[in-house]
Chains A and B, each alone.
Chain A
């Protein structure tokens, strides 16, 4: 699998760290209830087919990328910088985009 980084072009999958579904971009607004946070952190559509997920170009330019993929074929359809994702695109929020905290890195063991 090769992933297209908007800055570096088509790169080996090994250069990227997978973070999870793009749901992580739709952070609940301040004061949102438990249900909203549970949905944000845990509940997933988990689609068989087209999906959007977040990858970090760890061994490259360090950009966070939203990749559109097909989970049934591993085809990478498109990608764009998370920084370029407008808050207007995000479901469930209307406030301006908040600066995103750096996600935790995966430890060596699993």
Chain B
């Protein structure tokens, strides 16, 4: 069933009795042309673009839990293309363009809201760095506007402009940046992939990867063995465990990143605000909750929850920047499992096993990459060659030194 306004009105008249499940619940076949391990945002978009761009319809997505139950349903929903390094720039630029057409593409309302993102700066040196970044973004074809202090005050009058420690000198506005409804992105891709014949198999955990003579031949799962000549591992924070089934060690350490949401409030924050010096960023969801977060807890973790010192730090940073939020009540907090690479950039590449591909290392920035990651992973799995905009996301770049260190902090696991 296509979703449209007439349908909504019609279903309202007939008591909403005509809605059908958005996707099938298929029994896994014994063999597919390709298997995607992981039914999160990246896995579902990979399956969708394999079917749509490359005509592969006999494929399956294997998800050990439920679709979209991992990081794609547990993030702070920010969509942006404000990267600096060649290699990252063209990738995120491509992703943002896909976001801009995503709702029509998927026939699904992902509530993509380009409300503008402001990165604050607090010194002359930081301003110069943001001027440089803004120029790089503009040269890439994206948008960036340098705001002075008064320009920021016009957009964000509620910030504390009198604080002495981090005086607000201005900000870099990325007008096309914004947010989207995270669950809807997973559901939209799932539904659109299903409509193209992709089998979405939930509660199906991969327990082994079959390799014969250096070639992948299929996977072992809790629902039995499934054969396939091509397998993509798209499992974010769990990449280490899945890759180990293929005898691989990845340049990935999984860390915990916490996020928070308050009770619903009337509209008060119209943009996405990033306060880098305080490791704090915030936006307001369409439901009214203030969604905000900070930095990693900075230790390896799969607990999907963090510790109190970082909670305290994030709250302090928020109060430093905008004291008005002090009366809002935090509704809940949670932790996501972040697949951190040494240089803070992702991996979309072949592996040493023929037919086995890996898409991982999204650090704490995977949500905005969902469309382009799937687009490029699908290209890689279908053609065997990296997509031009993802050509630097190589698995071996730490050995070769061709790093993508966006922050310039060094290539080491605890620095990003």
Contact = CB atoms under 8 A, between A and B. Distances in A.
Contacts of A48: 238, 240-241, 254, 302
B399 interface: yes
B240 A53 contact: no
Given A20-B414, A72-B303, 12 more contacts: A42-B399, A44-B250, A44-B251, A44-B253, A45-B244, A46-B239, A46-B254, A48-B302, A51-B300, A71-B301, A74-B303, A74-B307
Interface in A44-78: 44-49, 51, 53, 71-74
Closest 7 CB pairs of A and B: A46-B240, A42-B251, A43-B249, A38-B399, A42-B398, A48-B302, A18-B299
Contacts of A14: 309
A34 interface: yes
B300 A53 contact: yes
A71 B306 CA distance: 11
Interface stretch (B130-138, B222-230, B314-322, B404-412): B404-412
A104 B342 CA distance: 14
Given A71-B300, A104-B412, A1 B307 contact: yes
Interface string A89-110: 0000000000000001011011
B279 interface: yes
Contact of A43 (B250, B299, B407): B250
A47 B250 CA distance: 11
Interface string B277-308: 10100000000000000011011111100010
Interface of B: 238-241, 244, 249-254, 276-277, 279, 295-296, 298-303, 307, 309, 342, 398-399, 407, 409-416
A104 B241 CA distance: 29
A13 B313 CA distance: 14
Contact of A73 (B240, B299, B303): B303
A82 interface: no
B300 A74 contact: no
Interface of A: 1, 12-14, 18-21, 34-35, 38-39, 41-49, 51, 53, 71-74, 104, 106-107, 109-110
Contacts of B398: 38, 41-42
Nearest to B277: A109
Nearest to A72: B302
Contacts of A34: 399
Contacts of B342: 41-42
B309 A13 contact: yes
A20 B399 contact: no
Given A21-B300, A46-B252, A53-B300, A110 B399 contact: no
A41 B244 contact: no
B253 A46 contact: yes
A81 B252 CA distance: 26
